């Protein structure tokens, strides 16, 4: 299988997720990085970054061609306008290439989400699809755990699915961008986590699960076609403490002065 097929399959995978899970009443914010897209001084880096640009363009073209969602493009360096995300419904696609400017993946994701949060474009109650377009430089499970843990601690994001290219031999977990050219991805693993899963591990990302797999060879698609964004807060809290915060919102919630009798 030619390497270009992997990128085509990634686009098809994202398209399938968007079609199945992203509501038509929600706009889509697609966040991409700019590192390397205009860097042509180092000729050894041109090819990987062109693949980055072409894959991003293909994703944009695919989503736009559906003409079903309002699409907002965000880059950390772009001049974003202040916006009230709570008054608008969003879902998010975060596109990541590993090993950009010697930054870790969590640093890259944090910078992209922080840029959205700074202008009020981030709603952590929405659906988040994180797409790693380059091969992971460590085992996918450990990679996913580190990313999802950071998303929770930094932004309190729960409804997130992470797409990671999977390589079935240990020697492949090296040299993220350059090694893509010499190995073929067999499948994409899709990871998520559950805030209430085991008693005593409440609200901590101590475990991640492969919720489904996208089979690349012969364009087989999803292995199980499961719900990638299931309800993660059930009626059974398994002994975990649930904190509830309220604010004055007349006439639904009214703060009574101490000693006031309720009628």
CA triplet 32, 37, 41: central angle to 5 degrees?
Answer: 155
Q: What is the pLDDT of residue 113?
A: 92
CA neighbours closer than 13 Å in the CB half-sphere of residue 137:
11
Q: What is the pLDDT of residue 201?
A: 65
Q: How far apart are CA 87 and CA 123, in angstroms?
A: 10
Other CB atoms within 10 Å distance of the CB of residue 181: 11
Q: What is the pLDDT of residue 40?
A: 35
Structural domains in the chain plus CATH codes: 3-222 (3.40.50.2300)
Q: How far apart are CA 190 and CA 132, in angstroms?
A: 10
Residues sharing a CB contact under 8 Å with residue 104, sequence separation 6 or more, in sequence order: none
What does the block give as tokens for 126?
């929405």
Tell me whether residue 4 is exposed, middle or buried, using C-beta atoms within 10 angstroms of its C-beta: 0 to 12, 13 to 18, 19 or more. Answer: exposed
Q: Is the pLDDT of residue 251 over 90?
A: no
Nearest CA-CA partner of 22 in 85, 91, 78: 91
For the stretch 78-98, pLDDT in tens is 665 555 545 568 899 998 876
Q: Which helix (H) or strand (E) holds 110?
A: helix 105-118
Average pLDDT score over residue span 2-27: 83
Nearest CA-CA partner of 149 in 130, 166, 135: 130
Q: How far apart are CA 256 and CA 114, in angstroms?
A: 37
Which residue shows structure tokens 């907002």? 72
Q: How far apart are CA 11 and CA 60, in angstroms?
A: 9
This prediction has a pTM of 0.77
Q: Is the pLDDT of residue 175 over 70?
A: no
The strand pair at 221-222 and 209-215 is best described as antiparallel
DSSP 8-state symbol, 200? T
Q: Is the pLDDT of residue 228 over 70?
A: yes
For the stretch 113-163, pLDDT in tens is 998 888 888 999 999 999 987 766 678 888 899 999 999 999 999 999 999
Contact yes or no for 144/174 (Cβ under 8 A): no
Q: What is the pLDDT of residue 87?
A: 59
- Residue 74: strand, helix, or coil: strand
Contact yes or no for 147/128 (Cβ under 8 A): no
- Per the DSSP assignment, residues forming a β-bridge with 55 are none
For the stretch 40-75, pLDDT in tens is 333 333 344 556 666 777 777 887 777 688 888 887
In this prediction, residue 18 has a pLDDT band, given cuts at 50, 70 and 90, of very high
Q: How far apart are CA 126 and CA 7, in angstroms?
A: 26
Widest Cα–Cα separation across the chain: 76
């Amino acid at each position: 299988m030619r390497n270009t097929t992997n990128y085509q399959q990634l686009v098809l995978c994202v398209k399938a997720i968007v079609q199945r899970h992203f509501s038509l009443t929600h706009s889509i914010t697609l966040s991409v990085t700019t590192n390397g897209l205009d860097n042509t001084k180092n000729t050894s880096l041109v090819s990987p970054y062109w693949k980055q640009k072409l894959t991003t363009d293909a994703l944009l073209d695919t989503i736009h061609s559906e003409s079903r969602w309002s699409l907002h493009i965000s880059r950390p360096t772009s001049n974003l306008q202040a916006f009230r995300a709570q008054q608008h419904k969003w879902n998010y696609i975060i596109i990541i290439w590993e090993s950009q400017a010697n930054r870790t993946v969590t640093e890259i994701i944090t910078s992209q989400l922080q840029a959205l949060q700074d202008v009020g474009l981030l709603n952590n109650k929405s659906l988040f699809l994180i797409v790693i377009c380059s091969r992971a430089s460590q085992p996918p499970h450990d990679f996913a755990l580190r990313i999802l843990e950071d998303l929770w601690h930094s932004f309190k994001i729960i409804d997130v699915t992470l797409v990671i290219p999977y390589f079935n031999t240990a020697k492949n977990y090296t040299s993220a961008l350059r090694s893509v050219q010499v190995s073929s991805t067999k499948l994409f693993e899709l990871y998520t986590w559950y805030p209430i899963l085991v008693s005593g591990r409440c609200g901590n990302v101590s475990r991640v699960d492969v919720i489904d797999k996208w089979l690349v060879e012969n364009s087989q698609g999803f292995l199980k076609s499961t719900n990638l964004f299931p309800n993660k807060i059930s009626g059974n809290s398994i002994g975990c403490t649930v904190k509830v915060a309220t604010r004055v919102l007349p006439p639904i919630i009214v703060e009574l002065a101490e000693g006031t009798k309720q009628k």
